[in-house]
Every structure is written in C-alpha cells, then in structure tokens.
Structure 1
Amino acid sequence: MKIVRRLGASPRERGSLNGDTCPDIFELSDGNFAVIGTDRTDALDGELPTDAARADYERIVVISRETLVRAKRDIPDV
C-alpha cells in the first residue's frame, strides 16, 4: 500500500508554516484513504451514536473543517 496523492490543499497552503497543525488526507493505492489528525478517541468515544462502533485498534481522529472542505473537490464520486 502506498500514498497515491494528497486530497485538497497542503498544510502549508492552509497556513501551517511551522508544522504544528498538519491535518491531511491522502488517497492510497488500494483505493482507501489515510487521515492525519488529532486523536480524540478518549473525548469522543462516549459521544458515538448507538449505531456506531469502534474496534480496539481504531481511533477517532479529528481534522479541521477547512482540511475536509478543501479536499472536497478531490474526493471521487465513486
């Protein structure tokens, strides 16, 4: 599995000049997506809707709204 491309603007394009805030979204060679974000599992685990579940190896990751909005144009429809 390899990173194929970034979706949306780079952190630098979104104003991160020092590398401290670098949420990012990448498309992988297998068609899946990888997300760099802030681990908020402890804070949000109890907030999940009753029809949502998280495996022990999964984490709840938060990215900024700007990161996702700016990636929208690059997200495939199918």
Structure 2
Amino acid sequence: MKIVRRLGVPPTARGSMSGQTCPDIFELSDGSFAIIGTDATATLDGNLPTDAARAEYERIVVIDRKTLIHAKKDIPDA
C-alpha cells in the first residue's frame, strides 16, 4: 500500500507556519484514505452512537474543519 496523492492543499497553504504537525488526508493505492489527525479515542469512544463501533486496533481521529473543506473537491463521489 502506498500514498497516491494528497486530498486538498498542503498544511502550509491552510495557514500552518511550521507545516510539521498538521492534519492531512491522503488517498492510498488500494482506494482507502489515510488521515493524519489528533487521536481523540479516549475522549470520544464513549460518545459513539449505539450503531457505531470501533475495533481495538482502530482509533478515532479528529481533523479540523478547514482540512476537510479543502479536501472536499478531491474526494471522489464513488
């Protein structure tokens, strides 16, 4: 599995001055997506809706609104 492309713009184009530890979204060679964000599993796990579940190896990751909005144009419809 490899990173194929970034969705949206680089963190520096979204206002990050350091560009070192910023949220990002990438499309992978198998069609999946990889997210760099803040691990909020401990905070949000107990707040998941009853029809949602998380495997032990999965994490709840938070990205800011600006990151997702900038990626919207690059997210495929299907």
TM-score (norm 1): 0.96
- Which secondary structure does the structure 1 equivalent of 2:4 belong to? strand
Q: Which runs of 4+ in 1 moved over 2 A?
A: none
**Unaligned residue ranges in structure 2 (runs of 5+):** none
Q: Give the superposition deviation at 1:21.
A: 4.4
TM-score (norm 2): 0.96
- Residue 5 of structure 2 is aligned to residue 5 of structure 1: yes
The aligned length equals 78
- Which secondary structure does the structure 1 equivalent of 2:12 belong to? coil
The two structures, once aligned, show a CA RMSD in angstroms of 0.9
**Unaligned residue ranges in structure 1 (runs of 5+):** none
More divergent stretch after superposition (18-27 vs 2-11): 18-27
- Between the two proteins, what is the percent identity of the paired residues? 74
Higher helix fraction (1 or 2): 2
Alignment of 1:9-48 (within 5 A): 9-19=9-19, 21-48=21-48
